[in-house]
Chain A
Amino acid sequence: MWESVIGLEIHVQLNTKSKIFSPASTDFGAPQNTQACAIDLGMPGVLPVLNEEAVIMAVKFGIAVGSDILDNSIFARKNYFYPDLPKGYQISQYEIPIVSGGCMEIITNGKSKTINLTRAHLEEDAGKSIHDLYPNESAIDLNRAGTPLIEIVSEPEMANAEEAVQYLKNIHSLVRYLGISDGNMQEGSFRCDANISLKKKGSDILGTRAEIKNINSFKYVESAINHEIERQTLILDRGDKVTQETRLYDPSKNETRSMRSKVEANDYRYFPDPDLLPISIDQDLIKSIKDNMPELPSAKKTRFIDQYGLNEYDTIILVSDRDLSEYFENVLEDSNLNPKMTANWIITEVLALAKKTYLSVKDYPVTSDNLRDLLLYVMDETISSKQAKEVFERMWENKENPRDIIENEGMKQISDINELDKIVDNIIKNNYKSVKEYQSGKDKLLGFFVGQVMKETKGQGNPKIVNQLLKEKLKK
């Protein structure tokens, strides 16, 4: 009966060194209000000066999604009062954004679909209000105030939560490929608002939408959208009308609730900011950005499939994270490792531990060089796959290199039967007395012989083979 229509507004914090309109640092996690200068505090008389790095990043994004980069885009003031908005207005872009149009391809259930972008514009982030620090007062941290953002607005073209999440993931992956954002969702560097409405199946007329604000994880986006679709379906099924409003998603209760209705909506009184000139974009800048564009996820995916013979499923996992794809290629580098086996290892072993220890690629304790060495040991059968997993766990835990672990633990094996055969023969020959005792039933002495062999092989004898050989030979 109903079809859902979803559009997303994604706020991406740009990882510039300094803020969009001030020289203050943008580093996350500094003590409260230590990274807010007079400009961020909105002190009387201060003026904003545009950080060109932010402009370059916005242009990079625009080029990557095939948008038009608009020359002379304009900053506008969005006026509203809020304690963590120091100036009483947010500097944003309204009528003319820097990036217009563009699109993003998504694949869900094996089917490809193109989601069109409306625009992307530059703006400043607000500070943070902290309501749980003091019993009857709110605190304000302005470290975040003035952090550059691009707000990426899609057309209402996604049909369900799955598509929305995929689109969100693709944008997330893209901004990280472009190196314009760390995409850290916990820290709020990447967050989204979802516009959801229902329309009659097959109809072109969009229904009334609700906007769910500030959702900061893929999982929450999925459940918030699904929940909202359910809520609107119930309303429409019983013949009522959906109210146009802003809603908040509460992950602890898995529900959305009304924040403010259209009637109470702010009139932001946008007007061009007289303190800032239109952003002039040099064509040379666009050219140089184009020339220096990194390989983007879609191109990398095609290449991985062609070059390494990987399947699509594995490729998508590796390519979704720029760092992971680079990790993979670094492991392979200048080696004769099997790419499929390497990909498997990363996807199963590495990602499992990474998930368990909440580490991102940059923080992996196992470097790509060390993982390569480990896999080479497996490949040349120095150690078994099973041992390799043990070694890997220790590498992850202690940042050791595989050689040390294998050697210290005697895991590096002499599996050559001929070589071991000679050594075992020698030991039996030189320990006549013990052999006799063993043969007379003192089974425990096997350990002694194993020890002797290990001593001779400096601990490198493959214990399985050594045991087997000793048992066989001592029977005689």
Chain B
Amino acid sequence: MDTIKFQRSLTNMHNKTVSELKKYIKEKEISSLELTKHFIDRVKNIDTQLNSFVSITEEYAITQAKKIDLEISKGEVRPLAGIPLAQKDIFCTKDLKTTCGSRMLENFISPYDATVVEKLNHAGMVIIGKTNMDEFAMGSSNETSYFGEVKNPWNTEYVPGGSSGGSAASVAARLVPCSTGTDTGGSIRQPASLTGVCGIKPTYGRVSRYGMIAFASSLDQAGVFTRTAEDCAILLTHISGYDPKDSTSSRKEVPDYEKECKKKFTNMVIGIPTEFLDGLDDEVKEVFEENVKVLEKNGCTFKNISLQSSKLGVSAYQVVAPAECSSNLSRFDGVRFGHRADSVKNIDDLYKKSRSEGFGQEVKRRILIGTYALSAGYYDAYYLKAQKIRKVISNEFEQAFKEVDLILGPTAPDCAFKLGEKTNDPIAMYLSDVFTVSTNLAGLPAMSLPMGFKNNLPLGLQIIGNHFDESKILSLAHHYQQITDWHLKKPEISGD
């Protein structure tokens, strides 16, 4: 690597975007190894206060970075060559532990790489660690992780949101330029909102779910966290696409989202669901409405729309997601992998003890709810009814998108809350997802991006698009970031 003459100093590299880093590496202004070390050092120094990483994969990352640098020296430059990345610990990695935030998988190493991991590795990215998350992605505050709660970089007494709280916090604190996440009911967008970063949840089927440990299969979708819409677009292009290993992945062609989002911004008609603003916190509402004005001035047309049934979203979600999770998590039985209880009497005892010890409280709660909802005699009243609501919600969105290009609203009902504030009130916790779950139920793409602050804590703006309209979402988001600077604000903890 000594042969490469690096013109650029490493100071401030953590403030650069993926788009910028890509250029520096390509132009050989920095090496992947230096960049990787720089970010790993930051994780080591800063993450003690945040706990956003479950594991730092230093050795692996350095080997990867050296390999990439060697390729670059030979003139082979992969599209995202040498850029450090954190993978949410829900994505299976062949060479690294995958815990899913659970004691159940504390020492689990997958025999294969998730498709998302494979794609980003192939694009040349360097995994520097696996990020903390709510156990099995069940939570909205990142307090259910077996590996401890993650703290909000803007104020470490506050939650970063969940379940992809570690991925969001690490990008917010500039410990890594980008990270992956998964979103089942808001698990990318809500933490993005609470930590002031960009997070996109693509259309269901846009990104392969293979190797992403399933929570609720019909809702789960992988996405990314970055600081800019442009970076979201860059990464999304690389993780999207049909995967023969995932029957629910779409064969629809993947556009170059980076190009798409930078195309000349055309006037869009944007719907605001009145239900999203009813009873909304005054300050949040104020911030949101200011942003609407900004966009209006810049060529967007706004229209009030109604998504009446979205109010039922949380209820339907809290049946469908636990139902699927109760089945998806059955494989963690202590027989083949994961936690196995000691000194058991028989097979039933093995199941009971391994699962009692391996799963945390929230996971158990959802397994129980889901098992109940699917039981004989209750199936029609719960699961089937929830599926009907789901259909109604989908239809409402479909109607809405006949009139508008995109739908806009706040991502979460409020800014981040204090650690421990809602842990004993699951219903209050579930309501953090009130604006996000409907899009999962309908399989729609949506994104959160920073739009302002309340009490020095970030607030997120949610853009919802029609199926496979990621380009439109990213275009609006990118345009918005050209005229605002919320995405450039950084928490004190990130330093200079």
Q: Which residues on A are within 8 Å of B, measured CB to CB?
A: 38, 41-50, 77, 79, 81, 83, 86-89, 138, 140, 267, 269-271, 274-277
Contact = CB atoms under 8 A, between A and B. Distances in A.
B92 A269 contact: no
Nearest to A44: B213
Interface in B364-379: 371, 374-376, 379
A274 B335 contact: no
B330 A81 contact: yes
15 contacts: A43-B110, A43-B111, A44-B214, A44-B331, A44-B332, A45-B110, A46-B210, A47-B209, A77-B327, A79-B327, A83-B335, A83-B347, A271-B327, A271-B374, A276-B247
A267 B375 contact: yes
Interface in B206-265: 209-214, 216-218, 244-248
Interface string B325-352: 0110111110111100000000100010
Nearest to A48: B247
B330 A89 contact: yes
Contacts of B471: none
A274 B371 contact: no
Contacts of B245: 47, 49
A87 B374 CA distance: 17
A373 to B, nearest CB: 52
Contacts, number: 101
Which 10 interchain pairs have the tightest Cβ spacing? A88-B330, A274-B218, A269-B374, A274-B217, A45-B211, A42-B331, A44-B213, A45-B92, A267-B376, A45-B213
Q: Which of A42, A47, A77, A276 has the most CB of B within 10 A?
A: A47
Nearest to B104: A44
B171 interface: no
B246 A47 contact: yes
Contacts of A38: 111-112
Interface string B374-388: 111001000100000
Contacts of A87: 330-331
Contacts of A271: 323-324, 327, 374, 379, 383
A41 B336 contact: yes
A79 B92 contact: no
Interface of A, secondary structure class, is: loop
B248 A275 contact: yes
A321 B334 CA distance: 45
Given A79-B326, A86-B335, A89-B327, 13 more contacts: A41-B336, A43-B331, A44-B100, A44-B108, A44-B338, A47-B209, A49-B244, A77-B327, A269-B327, A269-B374, A269-B379, A270-B374, A271-B327
Nearest to A267: B376
Contacts of A269: 326-327, 371, 374-376, 379
A50 B247 contact: yes
Nearest to A78: B327
Contact of A45 (B212, B218, B332, B374): B212
A88 B327 contact: yes
B98 interface: yes
Contacts of A48: 247
B65 interface: no
Nearest to B371: A269
Interface string B91-110: 11000001010000100101
Given A81-B351, A88-B330, A269-B374, A44 B247 contact: no
B248 A277 contact: yes
Contacts of B211: 45-46
B376 to A, nearest CB: 5
Contacts of A274: 216-218, 248, 324
A295 to B, nearest CB: 36
Contacts of B331: 42-44, 86-88
Interface in B304-329: 323-324, 326-327, 329
A275 B248 CA distance: 7
A45 B214 CA distance: 6
A89 B248 CA distance: 19
B110 A277 contact: no
B359 to A, nearest CB: 13
A47 B114 CA distance: 11
B247 A275 contact: yes
Contacts of B112: 38, 43
Nearest to B377: A267
Given A88-B327, A276-B247, A44 B374 contact: no
A275 B379 contact: no
Nearest to B92: A45
A231 B211 CA distance: 52
A140 B335 contact: yes
Nearest to B216: A274
B247 A277 contact: yes
Contact of B98 (A44, A79, A275): A44
A76 to B, nearest CB: 10
Contacts of A41: 336-337
B354 to A, nearest CB: 11
Contacts of B92: 43-45
Interface string B439-450: 000000000000
A89 B91 CA distance: 22
Contacts of A276: 247-248
A4 B347 CA distance: 38
A270 B327 CA distance: 10
A274 B337 CA distance: 23
Contacts of A50: 247
Q: Which of A42, A86, A88 has the most CB of B within 10 A?
A: A88
Contact of B374 (A79, A138, A277): A79
Nearest to B105: A44
A46 B326 CA distance: 16
A269 B248 CA distance: 22
Q: Which of B105, B214, B244, B375 has the most CB of A within 10 A?
A: B214
Nearest to A23: B245
